[in-house]
Structure 1
Amino acid sequence: MYGNNAHNIYAQNNVGIESPAKLIEMLYEGVLRFNAQAKKSIKEFNIEKRVYWINRSTAIITELITILDPEQGDVSEYLEGLYNYEIQLLASAGAENNIDKLDEVSNVFKALLEAWRETNDVAH
């Protein structure tokens, strides 16, 4: 679905990557890592770091939207809507210092990562 677009974007930045599937996995993992840092920052009342980490997660999700393949139809449309909703949740989490909303985003990306890994394990 994301395929060569994601791989080409990474290749343009001279970053070696095993495969487009691995890139998506890394992006999902990045959201989870950055959300964990944002959660820690909220608990520590560190506004600057909270904003920084939430912005990093948002940037990854925005990239995931950019590399969606509209030719994949319903799946692509569904993911675009889901990703946009997750961006809204991140914005609310940051504005409200709301760990529950941040956890909700992380739970969605944990599920996406698990499903992605299962799909790509079957494909290989």
Structure 2
Amino acid sequence: MATNNPYATYQHNSVNTSTPGELTLMLYNGCLKFIHQAKNSLENNNFQEMNLSSQKAQAIISELMLTLDTSYPVSQNMLSLYEFVNSRLIDGNIKKDGTMFEDASAIITDFRDTWKQVIQINRQKQYGEVNEI
């Protein structure tokens, strides 16, 4: 991949060298970014940008739902929460209601923070090191 943009090169390399756990964390962070963009766009009455950002967040939620290993009982609960987040994003987009974006953001923030802790605990067990993510 030849590019003149060092940031794009960094992003490409970080995705290609990340563990599955780190990739999931990136998805959570991306989803939160798009939810916040949707809410900010709504506040600025930029409905086209709100729609686009909301759809990007929905695409990430869909990816998380598709890749969820449902062989574990906790996965069914996670799937239900992902479905709820997706419905809040859709309803927030249609009804132009920022509180629905906030609801979605709160749940994804909890998932992200928990996932971060899991990665840190696993690293500590594997390598005896504690690195902030």
Residues in 1 aligned to 2:118 and 2:91: alpha-carbon distance in whole angstroms: 31
Deviation at 1:17, TM superposition (A): 3.2
Give 1 or 2 for the bigger CA radius of gyration. Answer: 2
Residues in 2 aligned to 1:51 and 1:17: alpha-carbon distance in whole angstroms: 32
Residues in 2 aligned to 1:117 and 1:67: alpha-carbon distance in whole angstroms: 18
Residues in 2 aligned to 1:23 and 1:34: alpha-carbon distance in whole angstroms: 16
Q: Do structure 1's residue 47 and structure 2's residue 50 form an aligned pair?
A: no
Q: Do structure 1's residue 82 and structure 2's residue 69 form an aligned pair?
A: no
TM-score normalised according to structure 1 size? 0.84
Matched residue SS, 2:16? coil
Which residue of structure 2 aligns with residue 100 of structure 1?
99
- Opposite residue 65 of structure 2, the aligned amino acid is I
Tell me the alpha carbon deviations over residues 57-81 of structure 1, each in whole angstroms, 9 at most, x when there is no partner: 000000000001122x211111111
Residues in 2 aligned to 1:82 and 1:40: alpha-carbon distance in whole angstroms: 23
Which residue of structure 2 aligns with residue 24 of structure 1?
24
Residues in 2 aligned to 1:101 and 1:117: alpha-carbon distance in whole angstroms: 24
Give 1:3-14 correspondences, 5 Å limit. none
Deviation at 1:106, TM superposition (A): 0.6
Residues in 2 aligned to 1:56 and 1:17: alpha-carbon distance in whole angstroms: 23
The 8 Å contact of residues 41 and 49 in structure 1, kept in 2 or not, is answered as: yes
Structure 1 stretches of 4+ with a deviation exceeding 2 A read: none
Residues in 2 aligned to 1:107 and 1:82: alpha-carbon distance in whole angstroms: 11
Identify which of structures 1 and 2 has the higher relative contact order when contacts are C-alpha pairs closer than 8 Å and 6+ apart: 1
Report how many residues are paired: 109
Gaps of 5+ in 2: 1-14, 124-133
Name the % identity: 26
Gaps of 5+ in 1: 1-14
The 8 Å contact of residues 17 and 23 in structure 1, kept in 2 or not, is answered as: no
- Opposite residue 68 of structure 2, the aligned amino acid is L
